[in-house]
Amino acid sequence: MGSGDVLKTAEKLKNINKRALIAVAVCVALIVGIIVFDSVRNSREYQTTAIAMGTVINLRLFGPDGKENAELVIENINETEKALLSRNEKNSDIYRINANPGTAVSVSAETADIISKSVDVAKNCGGVFDITVGEVTKLWDFGGDKQRLPTEKEITEKLSDVRYSAIKVTNTTVRIAEGQTLDLGAVGKGAACDRVKALLSATNTDSAVISVGGSLLLYGKKDFNIGIVNPENDLASMGTLKLSDTFVSTSGNYEKFFEQDGKTYHHILDATTGYPADSRLSSITVICDSGLLSDALSTACYILGYNQSIELLNEYDAQAVFVFKNKTVRVTDGIKDSFTLTDESFVVAK
Amino acid sequence: MNTKKSKTKTIAFLGIMGALALSLSFLESLIPPLPGLPPGAKPGLSNVVTMFLASSSGVGSAFAITFFKAAFAGITRGTTAMLMSAAGGLLSTLAACILLRSKKIKFGYIGIGIICAVCHNIGQLTVACILSGTWALITGYGPLLMLFAVATGFVTGTTLKLVLPALDKIINRI
Amino acid sequence: MRKLFRRTDILIIAGVLLLSFLLFLPNLFNNNELIAQIYVDGEKTEEIKLDAVDEAYTFSPKENTVISVKNGAICFTKATCRDELCINSGWLSSKGQTAACLPEKIVITIKGADKTDMITY
């Protein structure tokens, strides 16, 4: 063994190490590349706006196959309207129930469940929210051609048929009494959101935020900043909520209304009086783990007002943001930390 | 030198190189489009072939394969693909020829790989802008594309250095 | 024998990173742009930069529906629905505003401020 051999071996070792180093570097680069590629792929967003259920649907999906999944969502919402909830589609569950009062009509388990839960909310809120309010809603015809202030006599007459207790629900059948009409307008969008969530669970979507006419589904682990619309000016939000994996619904007096003889009549009817609810609130936003419930509760709580809503919300483990007509804001404890006021003309009550 | 035999050799050799370049392109095409990047953006591994040719074979063969790739893209994927491949390929091969054949420019393989990748992207971006009628694509896709080029250039440069001995052997045998 | 990596390569990488950053800068100044998006049947069909509109013009995304565009604003001017709610929405000229023609499934929306991911109403 001479010094020459040592040098040669040293050279060889150096070369091997260099080669190994390069090989490792390339592998690391490829692995990092694949990881980045995969995470970027999953944060891929697909956004679109569509019309379904007579309203504007905004979709933002994160993850693979955004476009395809978005199409499935729209299809699903149309299906909800057509097969379950529509008052006009001849074969929808609701249509058939309304067309056959006094009979136990066979419906899908989902519709039966929706009605059953709605009756439950009606019970717990003293009937101010009641899905049998259909005949009274027809009198007012908010947003329709025959929109008007009905006479007291008309309202009293139709009000006698507004009785949630007359609904008989089983797992697969629903029966209403003669003279009754079901109107699921107050919960339809939330119910659609529930079905969309079930649909998305069966797809490869990572997360999504979907608005069905203002009722939101937050799907997946991703946090979203949800804006609460300023009741005075629907261009801007007056506050934001940081939420994930939940449902959000808002009831407000600014959405559908008309003026007659100097008075404003908004579309949230108190089912016990047949008239628009006399509330100190301009809007209430309810956050709950069910779309149907968040919709129903937002309507019920708007009518009940702040004090009487707290108990109802607790019963359903729901949170809410109350926006009063005097621009005060009250936030329930569960989401106090998630709410940020963005419009200083409003005041958050302590 | 038997010119007929060396011509056959050249054609055979270019054939092998062309096939290699195409198979690499094909493998890359299996990668789905990445968000933030234009739909056709790929690591450009087939550029390792053109870079190798630029350094060890000749300017002619490098450009021959470049045109071959563009033509193949045109036949299989259409005019747009052909233009994109041509623009990116020409600029990248030009850079490769200058950088790899110059004794004075002493950049490392990684640096050269990056420059070639950047040139490839610039060429494709330019064609994309001309075809879609707006220069907004430059500020839209540009930033991410350049970052992407650093990564892909790193990979192609390193790959080149690794396979150079093997490819050189092929060239010497032929 | 050319080396794999040399010190000058670091300069090259730095240069490309700088280039990437420079190309990115113009994007920061785009926030004041008013961009209208048109969705037809659930697909985005157009994006119009309202600030860049010189001469007012109209176009029909579908037969019997007309959208008017002028500098800084856009609106429905003809529609097939009875109540003409879309037309009554008037000129849209602020971020976040939306007008929808329900029967034709056409929605015009002005790209909104980025503070919120979705608005509940």
> Tell me, what's the ipTM?
0.82
Beta bridge partners of A217: A210, A247
Identify the CATH number of the domain defined by range C32-110.
Answer: 2.60.320.10
Distance (Å) from the C-alpha of residue C1 to the closest C-alpha of chain B? 10
Determine if the pTM surpasses 0.80: no
List the single residue in A145, A210, A237 with the smallest CB-CB distance to C119: A237
Q: Is residue B107 part of a domain?
A: yes
List the single residue in B34, B36, B154 with the smallest CB-CB distance to A29: B154
Q: Encoding tokens for residue A117? A: 């839960």
- Measured distance CA(C82)–CA(C76) in Å, rounded: 14
With CB atoms and an 8 Å threshold, state whether B107 touches C23.
Answer: no
Q: Is residue B59 part of a domain?
A: yes
Please choose, from the candidates A265, A282, A286, the residue with its C-alpha nearest in 3D space to the C-alpha of residue A332: A286
Across chain B, which distance is largest between two alpha carbons, in Å? 55
DSSP B155-173: HHHHHHHHHHHHHHHHHHH
Beta strand pairing call for C35-40 and C106-110: antiparallel
Q: What is the pLDDT of residue A34?
A: 64
Query: What is the distance, to the nearest Å, from the Cα of residue B19 to the centroid of all Cα atoms in its chain?
Result: 14
Contacts of A139 (CB under 8 A, 6+ apart): A150, A154, A155, A158
- Strand ranges for C6-63 from DSSP E: 35-40, 43-49, 57-62
Average pLDDT over residues C80-91: 77
- Measured distance CA(B3)–CA(C90) in Å, rounded: 80
Residue A176's identity, in one-letter code, is I
Please choose, from the candidates C116, C111, C119, the residue with its C-alpha nearest in 3D space to the C-alpha of residue C31: C111
Interface of C with B in 2-41 (CB under 8 A): 2-6, 8-9, 12-13, 16-17, 19-21, 23-24, 26-27
Q: What is the pLDDT of residue A315?
A: 96
Q: Phi/psi at A220 (nearest 5 deg)?
A: 95, 180
Distance (Å) from the C-alpha of residue A228 to the closest C-alpha of chain C? 6
Q: Answer for the pair B149, B117: CB distance below 8 angstroms, yes or no.
A: yes
SS3 A148: coil
With CB atoms and an 8 Å threshold, state whether B150 touches C17.
Answer: yes
Q: What is the pLDDT of residue C74?
A: 92
Average pLDDT, rounded, for chain B:
83
Q: What are the tens digits of pLDDT across the range C26-41?
A: 777 766 678 899 998 8
Q: Is residue B4 part of a domain?
A: no
Spell out which chain A residues touch chain C, with contact meaning CB-CB distance below 8 angstroms.
22, 48-51, 54-56, 58, 60, 70-71, 74, 143, 145, 209-211, 214-216, 224-229, 234-237, 240, 248-250, 252, 255, 285, 342
Say how many domains are in chain B: 1
- For residues B87-111, one letter each, b for 16 or more C-beta atoms within 10 angstroms of the residue's C-beta and e for the rest, the string is bbbbbbbbbbbebbeeeeeebbbbb
Q: What is the pLDDT of residue A33?
A: 66
- Domains of chain A from N-terminus onward: 43-87+184-218 (no CATH), 100-180 (1.10.3980.10), 223-350 (3.10.520.10)
Please choose, from the candidates B52, B151, B44, B109, the residue with its C-alpha nearest in 3D space to the C-alpha of residue C16: B151
Residue A204 vs residue B131, higher pLDDT: A204
Q: Which domain holds residue B121?
A: 9-22+44-173
Q: Which of B162, B163, B164 to mutate to test the interface with A (most CBs of A within 10 A)?
A: B162
- Measured distance CA(A172)–CA(A116) in Å, rounded: 11
Please choose, from the candidates A301, A308, A276, the residue with its C-alpha nearest in 3D space to the C-alpha of residue A287: A301
Q: Is residue B163 part of a domain?
A: yes
Please choose, from the candidates A47, A58, A38, the residue with its C-alpha nearest in 3D space to the C-alpha of residue A215: A58
**Range among A58-62, C88-92, C102-106 rated most confident:** A58-62
> What band does C102 get if pLDDT is binned at 50, 70 and 90?
confident
How does pLDDT run along chain A (350 residues), one tens digit per residue?
556 666 666 566 566 566 666 666 666 666 666 666 665 655 678 889 999 998 999 999 998 888 899 999 999 999 999 988 888 888 899 999 999 999 999 999 999 999 999 999 999 999 999 999 999 999 999 888 888 999 999 999 999 999 999 999 999 999 999 999 999 988 999 999 999 999 999 999 999 999 999 999 999 998 999 999 999 877 678 999 999 999 999 999 998 888 888 899 999 999 999 999 999 999 999 999 999 999 999 999 999 999 999 999 999 999 999 999 999 999 999 999 999 998 889 999 87
Residue B43 vs residue B151, higher pLDDT: B151
- For residue B116, give the CATH number of its domain: 1.10.1760
Average pLDDT over residues B18-24: 89
Closest residue in C to A254 (Cα) is C121
Across chain C, which distance is largest between two alpha carbons, in Å? 79
Q: What are the tens digits of pLDDT across the range C39-63?
A: 988 888 888 888 878 788 889 888 8
Q: Encoding tokens for residue B112? A: 């050269």
Beta bridge partners of A277: none
Using a CB-CB cut-off of 8 Å, the residues of chain C touching B142 are 20, 23-24
Q: Is residue B3 part of a domain?
A: no
> What band does C7 get if pLDDT is binned at 50, 70 and 90?
confident
Beta bridge partners of A230: A233
Average pLDDT over residues B27-53: 76
Using a CB-CB cut-off of 8 Å, the residues of chain B touching C14 are none
Closest residue in A to C108 (Cα) is A49
With CB atoms and an 8 Å threshold, state whether C95 touches A252.
Answer: no
